[in-house]
Amino acid sequence: MRPASPPAYMHAFVTLVTNADYAKGAVALARSVRRTGTNADMVVLHTGGVDGSALQPLSELGCRLVAVDHLPLSDAFNERHSRSQLHAAAPFAKGRKPEFHSPLDNFCKLRLWQLTEYETCVFIDADALVLRNIDKLFAYPQFSAAPNVYETLGDFHRLNSGVFVARPSVLTFAAMLERLDEPDVFWRRTDQTFLESFFPDWHGLPVFMNMLQYVWFNLPELWDWKQIGVLHYQYEKPWETDHPKSDRLKPLIDLWQAHYTGENIPEIAGLDNPSGPGG
Ligand code: UDP
Ligand code: MN
């Protein structure tokens, strides 16, 4: 860990970028976070896969950049969780992952527990936007996450690790590393499966604190712009040029583009909800 500047507050929003694509995501995310008027720091964990030019706009947005290494994991672990092996052993049937997504990189999220200069951190995936002030999440207990709902209500018992509340601790980080790399272990949805197993008594955040983009067309009756705290573009990314669902998700992609460029960001409460099966 090589922090570039000291922390300013006891709370931080934290994201992770391991390549230039996710750095784009973090630009839109960071701009959205600043617009909520929060005083919390915005920390970007970045690996050697991101060069300075991709990080520059994040500095300009006031982010605290923290360089991190990949976790010290065994070769066998890394092999089992490589993109090709993971996609073969646990195929994605519901949506498509972009080429620039490396499953192994997801585990770097756990470095958040090393940010002990903060009392509480709220992790947010780089492919998300914060649409209203969510500072109240800093008062939630560890480990809090929202349900992984994007298809059926049966999904409410699973968590999605795109947004979570955590208390940094070197002891917790060490315990995690020990549990993570046991012989032959396979975390089919990487950090998400691991965190669900490490924190079996996880606390549920409201579904609006991690509203998944597929809800827009799968469960439109659940959508409510006025209540959404975090909008999360799981699977296909809004900056992808070859985006198979771009027609169906156009209003959401337009909203992301506005945050990315900083131009013509609309009033969220004024946006139209999707028309449900009856509407
Ligand atoms: N990530 C990254 N590089 C990668 C894969 C993941 O930086 O190659 C980070 C990034 O913050 C990303 C998060 O880990 O948002 C989780 O991956 P992703 O959002 O693509 O997964 P999904 O939400 O589609 O399940
Ligand atoms: Mn994501």
The domains found in the chain, sorted by start residue, are 2-270 (3.90.550.10)
Does residue 214's CB lie within 6 angstroms of at least one atom of ligand 1?
no
Residue 3 reports pLDDT greater than 80: no
Query: What is the Å distance from ligand 1's center to 82 Cα?
Result: 14
pTM over 0.95: yes
Question: What would the pLDDT profile of 205-248 be if each residue is shown by its tens digit?
Answer: 999 999 999 999 999 999 999 999 999 999 999 999 999 999 99
* Ligand 1 pocket member 207 (CB < 6 A): no
pLDDT at 4 over 90: no
* Mean pLDDT value across the chain: 95
For the Cβ of 106 lying below 6 angstroms from any atom of ligand 1, the answer is yes
Helices 170-180, 190-198: inter-axial angle, 10-degree rounding = 110
Model confidence over 73-122: pLDDT tens digits?
A: 999 999 999 999 999 999 999 999 999 999 999 999 999 999 999 999 99
Whose CA is closest to atom 21 on ligand 1? 234
Buried b (16+ CB within 10 A) or exposed e, 101-120: bbbbbbbbbbbbbbbebbeb
Q: What pLDDT is attached to residue 275?
A: 79
